Structure 1
Amino acid sequence: MEPYQSISVGKALDADTDEVRNRGGFYLINVTATEVPVNSSVVLNQSTSVSITQVSITILDADDNLPMFNQKEYNATVPENTPLGVPLSVTPIIFVEDKDQGINSRFNLSVTKDGMPYKDFLTLPAEGQTIQGRSSITITVGNSSILDFETRTNITFQIVATSVDQSGRAKNSTTVTIFLKIEDINDNSPTFPTQPNSFNVSENATVGYLIATIKAVDVDTGDYGKVTYRLEESGFDGEFLINNNTGELRVAKSLDREQRSSYMLIVDATDSPSLPDDQRRRSRFSIGVHVMDVNDNSPVWAQVIPFITVLENTAVNTSVAELWATDSD
């Protein structure tokens, strides 16, 4: 009979399961050795023919788990022009965990885009920093210039968690995707990119006559990009009005070129009508309105016409008087 016997594994063991963890990482088993009689006539003493001992079997952890995130993908938002170092708003909060034990649970993080290193966003804990076990992750802005809503409205990139061995060498990794939505803010003022700045109107134009439509453009979206108009109260005396919403510039009362031949008007274009006034952005645009003459005045004698006497026999073409008249047209 062999003096030694082996204990073998009856099923797969995993030091990272709750079953093993709840046992403190080891199994305590009883091993019974029973004397076998040489023949059936031999009667054994139970107290001396059976021996029981306890064996403690410790389950050693193997580095057999990848770091895992709590989701496969995440949605994030950030206002455009957000400064460096400011966290993104991520839903839900990112957690990553390596269920191995001790140094076998170490990993680090990196940010990539389409498989290439990507520095426009950073992680906390920082890229390359060794993490052990479990950690939440914060993503911060690494390049604020990329956050321009008028250039792009969303960005997709990846967070990679890479397990490292005891010497710090990279092993296997897990990747999740971040879908970032850039939120518009009111960071652009109205402009007048193609707006003419000089117009003609006849002096006999009726009240309500459309002189021009003033058009300002604001590249922000929604209410941030909505523009309203008004005329600054200088340079005219109620002869013109502008539609607050459409920018239509019209004659408001009768014009008389002989009284005034030109006007310099200032149009104020303001965005975001629903915001408080101190949060709105505005631009000013000067336009000239030239009143065109029409033949609406008769000649007027410049002096009282006197009686004129002429001598008889006055030669033909002899000047006997000088008369003149004026016409204000």
Structure 2
Amino acid sequence: MAALQKLPQRRRLIRLCFLLVVLWEVGARQMHYSVPEEIDKGSFVGDIAKDLGLEPPALAERGVRIISRGRSQLFALNPRSGSLVTAGRIDREELCAQSTRCLVNFNILLEDKLNIYSVEVEITDINDNAPRFGVEELELKISEMTTPGFRIPLKSAHDADVGENTLQKYELNPNDHFSLDVRSGVDGNKHPELVLELALDREEKAIHYLLLVALDGGSPVRSGTSRICVTVLDVNDNAPIFTQPEYRVSVPENMPVGTRILTVTATDTDEGYNAQVAYFQEKTLGETPEVFELESTSGDITITKSLDFEDAKVHEIDIEAQDGPGLLTRTKVIVTVLDVNDNAPEFYMTSATSSIPEDSPPGTIIALFNVHDRDSGQNAFITCSLPENLPFKLERSVDNYHRLVTTRALDREQFSFYNVTVTAKDGGKPSLSKDAYILLQVADINDNPPTFPHMSYSAYIPENNPRGASIISVVAHDPDSDDNAHVTYSLTEDTFQGAPLSSYISINSDTGIVYALRSFDYEQFQDLQLWLTAWDNGNPPLSSNVSLSIFVLDQNDNAPEILYPALPTDGSTGVELAPRSAEPGYLRHPEKKLPREFKKCKEAPEKLNR
């Protein structure tokens, strides 16, 4: 009873071990490395040979190579050391902008087994960019009636680095009237604000010059500066205020150029010139050409360039509202681009064969290819299919790789080639598809012997024929190709009337024409029976036999000869007396015998008629 209770526990333990093995094998196909940006070409990244469980010389022997899709080659394999090295200068900001993590993914292919391994390389940031302001000098106008504590948003600096290497803090040169406060926005960025600490007096000092410094957290620290010119005015104590601290809008990527997607609005409680609000789009250094346009008086935002979800999924627009004297406030517009199914699947043929022997076993790999759709979600879900009634099937591998393999033995004599169409279809509505064509030649093997169209042949030849006379032509057909279909003929060795059969008959090995090697005499023999053999030129060669009957036709080549009575040898006239009792049909003397030839004529008179 105790043994029966332990049995389910053992089964659960076996299942757990099997699951752990499967998970280990899946994880083993993913390799992760890390390398800092801007290092020299040829710098070590990771030991590929070790992680694949191979010795460095085996990389070339097994055809290990890097395959990547739609991107310049950033890494290479060192065949001597078996390590992964950089193929050139790598700029993290160029690859990933300000993403927190910068990952480069590609695949390692083992050509001999057509195995695919995924490789992920993280490009870490170095402090190679200093903070930079969009403008070198900022002009501000502040009313002298402004009370201490009044805040003025300043232009932010931009640092292309990430983490500790990006912008960390701002500093303001010491002065009596202003201090600096830094606030973090909803996007996590730091925004400097100029704080009025002491009331201004235009008559005392009409212009204040300040220096704003932006510093990053790298080692050594990098910095950027912006000059601030503050002009003191008499009145205008209210800055414009946006109706929302942040605007969000979603737009499909196929929205036409010129479409208005949003209107931002800011109000100013001042009057007259001090309440006139204008809108400006804040520029960021290194930014690509604007996709949107902001109308300065209305706040309308329109599309000026076609959107592409595959290039950018989110656009952030920093907008400033500035009143007449120059007070400003800012807001952010976040435009989310929605994907539409505007990209058909794409094929990347990794390996393909153009010819396959017809005796290849089922499961032979014809091609390895990858399919990719630049869309996302259901629009990027790809299914591949083949036409029906073909001796092939598709096997899906990792990372959208597919193998085209045979499902049964091929027959070149039935189909000498296949033009295989592979169709990749995405899951969009309506779906898009693309075809790839693989031309496969079926190579011949010598699997068919030559075949005669008849099971036996008969031929007739008159006697007294000239030597070398053609008797008959036989032809055998071989459905194979090239040397496997090249047929030669031979005569089976035998004897006839004590002499080799080849002394009577010969056959042309190329044409199959049978010739007589001597003049035949009907009175010596009336027929010949022989076997012919057809061979192909395969390795090993195949053959078949056929029987040939040659009949000799009689010609009138012999004059009649009197056999009886015989003429006397002394020159006299021979006389033969018949007795009176002789009956009709009496022919010879009772003591004399008829010659053997005469007997034959008497027994078979019909032969004389021939």
Counterparts in 2 of 1:83-122, with a 5 A limit?
83-88=361-366, 90=367, 93-98=368-373, 107-113=381-387, 117=388, 120-122=391-393
Distance in 2 (CA, whole Å) between partners of 1:22 and 1:293 is 108
Counterparts in 2 of 1:253-272, with a 5 A limit?
253-272=518-537
Aligned equivalent of 1:149 = 412
Q: Aligned AA for 2:504?
A: E
- How far does the alpha carbon of each residue in 1:86-108 deviate from its partner, in whole angstroms, 9 at most, with x for none? 222x4xx523345678x889745
Distance in 1 (CA, whole Å) between partners of 2:143 and 2:564 is 162
Larger radius of gyration: 2
1:285 Cα deviation after fit: 0.6
Aligned equivalent of 1:248 = 513
Kindly indicate whether the alpha-carbon contact (under 8 Å) linking 2:383 and 2:426 is maintained by their aligned counterparts in 1. no
SS of 1:268 mapped into structure 2: strand
CA 1:224–1:281: 2 relative to 1, 3 Å: same
Kindly indicate whether the alpha-carbon contact (under 8 Å) linking 2:345 and 2:382 is maintained by their aligned counterparts in 1. no
Q: Does 1:20 align with 2:20?
A: no
Distance in 1 (CA, whole Å) between partners of 2:472 and 2:98 is 82
CA 1:162–1:97: 2 relative to 1, 3 Å: same
TM-score, normalised to structure 1, is 0.66
Aligned equivalent of 1:3 = none
CA 1:320–1:182: 2 relative to 1, 3 Å: closer
Q: Pick 1 or 2: higher relative contact order, CA cutoff 8 A, min separation 6.
A: 1
1:204 Cα deviation after fit: 1.1
Q: Does 1:39 align with 2:39?
A: no
Q: Does 1:123 align with 2:394?
A: yes
Aligned equivalent of 2:163 = none
CA 1:156–1:49: 2 relative to 1, 3 Å: same
Aligned equivalent of 2:443 = 183
Unaligned ranges ≥5, structure 2 = 1-69, 72-93, 104-124, 126-130, 150-170, 174-178, 190-311, 315-336, 569-573, 601-607
Aligned equivalent of 2:180 = 49
Distance in 1 (CA, whole Å) between partners of 2:565 and 2:484 is 64
Aligned equivalent of 2:588 = 321
Q: Does 1:286 align with 2:547?
A: yes
Distance in 1 (CA, whole Å) between partners of 2:430 and 2:424 is 10
CA 1:182–1:21: 2 relative to 1, 3 Å: farther
Counterparts in 2 of 1:153-232, with a 5 A limit?
153-163=416-426, 172-193=432-453, 197-232=457-492
Kindly indicate whether the alpha-carbon contact (under 8 Å) linking 2:350 and 2:369 is maintained by their aligned counterparts in 1. no
Aligned equivalent of 1:9 = none
Distance in 1 (CA, whole Å) between partners of 2:389 and 2:421 is 9
Distance in 1 (CA, whole Å) between partners of 2:411 and 2:582 is 88
Kindly indicate whether the alpha-carbon contact (under 8 Å) linking 1:70 and 1:96 is maintained by their aligned counterparts in 2. yes
Q: Please report the RMSD computed on the Cα atoms of aligned residues, expressed in angstroms.
A: 4.8
- My pick for the range that moved more, 253-262 or 202-211, is 253-262
Unaligned ranges ≥5, structure 1 = 1-15, 126-130
Distance in 2 (CA, whole Å) between partners of 1:62 and 1:134 is 24
Distance in 2 (CA, whole Å) between partners of 1:172 and 1:300 is 104
Distance in 2 (CA, whole Å) between partners of 1:217 and 1:320 is 62
Kindly indicate whether the alpha-carbon contact (under 8 Å) linking 1:98 and 1:134 is maintained by their aligned counterparts in 2. no
SS of 1:244 mapped into structure 2: coil
Distance in 1 (CA, whole Å) between partners of 2:102 and 2:183 is 23
Distance in 2 (CA, whole Å) between partners of 1:134 and 1:84 is 23
- How far does the alpha carbon of each residue in 1:110-169 deviate from its partner, in whole angstroms, 9 at most, with x for none? 3233xxx555311122xxxxx66442x32111244xx4333333322322334459xxx9
CA 1:244–1:118: 2 relative to 1, 3 Å: closer
SS of 2:365 mapped into structure 1: coil
1:51 Cα deviation after fit: 1.2
Distance in 2 (CA, whole Å) between partners of 1:214 and 1:200 is 14
CA 1:303–1:107: 2 relative to 1, 3 Å: farther
1:20 Cα deviation after fit: 3.0
CA 1:314–1:98: 2 relative to 1, 3 Å: closer
1:270 Cα deviation after fit: 0.8
SS of 1:254 mapped into structure 2: coil
Distance in 2 (CA, whole Å) between partners of 1:66 and 1:309 is 118
- My pick for the range that moved more, 221-230 or 176-185, is 176-185
Q: Aligned AA for 1:229?
A: Y
Distance in 1 (CA, whole Å) between partners of 2:556 and 2:351 is 77
Q: Aligned AA for 2:494?
A: S
- How far does the alpha carbon of each residue in 1:16-45 deviate from its partner, in whole angstroms, 9 at most, with x for none? 99733884269x9x999x9x7752587999
- How far does the alpha carbon of each residue in 1:271-303 deviate from its partner, in whole angstroms, 9 at most, with x for none? 12xx44xx2121101010112223445648489
CA 1:74–1:246: 2 relative to 1, 3 Å: same
Q: Aligned AA for 1:80?
A: E
SS of 1:233 mapped into structure 2: coil
Distance in 1 (CA, whole Å) between partners of 2:431 and 2:372 is 15
CA 1:320–1:264: 2 relative to 1, 3 Å: closer
Distance in 1 (CA, whole Å) between partners of 2:554 and 2:575 is 36
Distance in 1 (CA, whole Å) between partners of 2:577 and 2:359 is 92
- How far does the alpha carbon of each residue in 1:226-250 deviate from its partner, in whole angstroms, 9 at most, with x for none? 2100000025432100011011101
Which of the two has greater helix per residue?
A: 2
CA 1:109–1:268: 2 relative to 1, 3 Å: farther
Equivalent pairs counted in the alignment come to: 288
1:206 Cα deviation after fit: 1.9
